[in-house]
Amino acid sequence: MGIQHEQIQEPSAHVTPLKSRPDGALYVATLYGNTLLLQIVDGEENPSRWKLTQQSGQLKLEWIDTHSGMPDTAELLAALEAAFTRYPNQHQLNLVTPVGQADELLQSGVLLRSGNNHLIARSELFWQQARIWLPSPLPYAFPSSYVFSQGRRHPLRPPKPAGIVYQRYIPWLDRTLSFRAVNIEYDLERFNRWMNDPVVAHSWGEQGDLAKHQTYLEGIAADPHTIGLIGCFDDEAFGYFEVYWAKEDRIAPFYDADDFDRGWHVLIGEPHFRGKPFVTAWMPSLSHYLFLDDCRTRRIVIEPRSDNYKMIRNLVKCGYANLKEFDFPHKRAMLSILLRERFFVEQLWVPRDAVAMSISATPL
């Protein structure tokens, strides 16, 4: 059947387009019945058409835009993200499309061949493709070379990033979440206000003036094992994140730290961004970023106060396992760990209690 005969249903009023950024190209995907339209933003091309169906538990994505050659790689990646976002419980889909870069996509794990030589995509492998969510992913892992810091032997760490390091469209919020590296000149006043917020001060204990916080951020910038990030929803800054390599961190003596384990600290500075809908966006996305940043990272650790029950509950919902309580000099802490395998196999980029919200509120 030619594309001119394809019946396209009108979208329901609550359908929200999905934004995807594979290889730096911004696509908007909209589902009309079973027809998925993909439009590259700022491009002159007409939207391409795909058919997305689920039958007998099988998900199928078929390219039906046969009048325009074949889809390029970025378009295919955007279509796959749209399909897996629309059906967050699906672990695999069958793909029917000509593929121009089949060897590269097969070698990178974007696609696999089934026993009958058909193309399939697995969500576990797809969501490990850094090129979709990291604006400037490294084409290779930073080489291993060991150094000593404060008596600890650990791998030499790569140069710190600048600008946006991760971005992801969150369907149930209809917002784009991003993390960007701290710019001290630009972010100092905001950071100072956040640190003096009573809720933040209770957890961090870093109240002070601009001079104190400039010194604090300069110390983070000079520390090769820690990176300061600002979290944003649609470019509106909402929180500060410190991500670190665990091997040379203060947490290392309290468990068997691997060379590429990562950890993080967080403060949500803007009160209107506190609460469950936002936690279900930023917490799994931060974990996702840390796993994508280096494919050798097998575990992410965090050590909240042991009496921070709300935080600990949120960690459990996002796949973290509580291992033990232990004593830092400044607090009694809970050691929580997230395994890479669990995150991707169990599809924890969407917390389980957010899956229903993701489907019912904004199908696509």
Which of 11-15, 197-201, 223-227, 333-337 bottoms out in mean pLDDT, i.e. has the lowest?
A: 11-15
171-224 tens-digit pLDDT? 999 999 999 999 999 999 999 999 999 999 998 999 999 999 999 999 999 999
Q: Decide if pLDDT at 1 tops 60.
A: no
pLDDT above 80 (res 47): yes
Strand order from edge to edge, sheet including 92-96:
18-20, 27-32, 35-40, 48-55, 58-63, 92-96, 119-122, 112-113
Q: What is the rounded CA–CA span in Å between residue 333 and residue 303?
A: 6
pLDDT band at 335 (very low <50, low <70, confident <90, very high): very high
Do 113 and 147 lie in one domain? The reply is: no
pLDDT at res. 66: 67
Q: Are residues 84 and 137 in the same domain?
A: no
- Decide which of 275 and 1 is more confident: 275
CA 174 to chain centre: 15
Residue 360 has pLDDT above 50, yes or no: no
One domain for residues 95 and 225:
no
Q: State whether 191 and 318 are in the same domain.
A: yes
Q: Are residues 172 and 306 in the same domain?
A: yes
- Identify whether residues 98 and 183 lie together within a single domain: no
Whether the model clears a pTM of 0.85, i.e. scores above it, the answer is yes
pLDDT of the residue at 38:
93
pLDDT of 223-233, one tens digit each? 999 999 999 99
Rounded Cα–Cα distance for residues 331 and 59 (Å): 48
Which pLDDT value is given to residue 229? Answer: 98
How many angstroms separate the Cα of 51 from the Cα of each of 9, 109, 124, 173? 12, 22, 22, 25
196 and 342 assigned to the same domain: yes
The number of distinct structural domains making up the chain is: 2
Q: Which residue has the higher pLDDT, 3 or 146?
A: 146
107 and 240 in a single domain? The answer is no
DSSP summary character for residue 247: G
Shared domain check, 229 and 201: yes
**Which structure tokens are listed for 311?**
């935080």
Does residue 266 sit in the same domain as residue 292? yes
Catalytic residue (one of 75, 81, 248, 303): 303
Residue 12 has pLDDT above 80, yes or no: no
pLDDT of residue 298: 98
Output the average pLDDT for the chain: 90
Active site annotation includes 6 = no
Checking if the pLDDT of 7 tops 50, the result is: no
pLDDT above 50 (res 10): no
pLDDT score at 358: 42
Domain encompassing residue 215: 132-361
Which residue is associated with the tokens 């029917």? Answer: 96
